[in-house]
Amino acid sequence: MAGQAPDEVRKAVEEGRAEGYHAYKVKVGLHDEATDVSIVAAVREAAPDAPIWVDANQAYTVDAALRMARRLAEFDVSAFEQPLPANDVTGLRRLRDHSPLPVALDESLRHPSDLATFVKLDAVDIAIAKVQRSGGLTLSRRLCQLAEDAGLRIMGSGLTDTDLGFAASLHLFAAFGVDTPVDLNGRQFVRSAYVGGSTVEVADGTALVPTGPGLGVEVDEDAVRALASAHWSV
């Protein structure tokens, strides 16, 4: 949820609960601090027992992030994602030393070597695994293995993906035992034009890991060829 007023947020949570969703990611840093806090409070009011994860998308300074962390702690927030700019290593170290909320990194982790730096400096609590950000499953697996070896929590995220990207994320998260709610979408917004019969099944807010060969998603090769021909004919 992003850019919404508290009343709109409450309605969105109610709609999500009706669809079977029981965890919520809230974008902060889009308003003044008081408004951001009121939006998170509205989510907690509408979903008293649900996991809540806030994502600042690099919006804050160290001082502002620390103020927000202290204000949001009363709402039992499970993770404070990317509160500072991706390359602010010293700032993230300082924040982690004093934040009552676990600091999760997303944009900071473009490559497993980035995570190694933050681990050495004790500047991270949670590594966000995102196949699309890391450029595929190979680097994503390396990043998750490093996080696991370092004793970090791993949380899962994605972009607005077709079913192929969606399936890749599910396999990664399942392989590393990610048992917290993950932030994945795509089915609501994107039609996978080249996906055939077998694909990801989603029911009551839960996506099932495909069990077929490869990623478990059947690609319609004729559709791929048709789309490729259409592209080159422009």
Contact 83, 72 (CB under 8 A): no
The string of pLDDT tens digits covering residues 92-108 is 999 999 999 999 999 99
Measured between alpha carbons, how far is 152 from 52 in angstroms, rounded to an integer? 19
Q: Which amino acid is at 64?
A: A
Q: What is the DSSP string of 62-115?
A: HHHHHHHHHHHGGGTEEEEE--S-TT-HHHHHHHHHH-SS-EEESTT-SSHHHH
**Amino acid at residue number 219:** V
d(CA 36, CA 121): 29
In this predicted structure, the answer to whether residue 3 has a pLDDT above a threshold of 70 is no
Residue keyed to tokens 């192929």: 164
> Measured between alpha carbons, how far is residue 143 from residues 35, 59, 103, 169, 174 in Å?
35, 24, 17, 13, 15
pLDDT of residue 190: 72
- Which range scores top for mean pLDDT: 78-82, 186-190, 206-210? 78-82
Q: Tens digit of pLDDT for each residue in 25-81?
A: 999 999 999 999 999 999 999 999 999 999 999 999 999 999 999 999 999 999 999
Which of 18-32, 146-160, 219-233 has maximum average pLDDT? 146-160
What 8-state DSSP symbol labels residue 3?
Answer: S
21 DSSP assignment: -
30-34, 100-104, 139-143, 225-229: which has the minimum mean pLDDT? 225-229
- Check residue 2 and give its pLDDT: 64
Q: 199 pLDDT exceeds 60?
A: yes
Query: pLDDT tens digit string along 153-162?
Result: 999 999 888 8
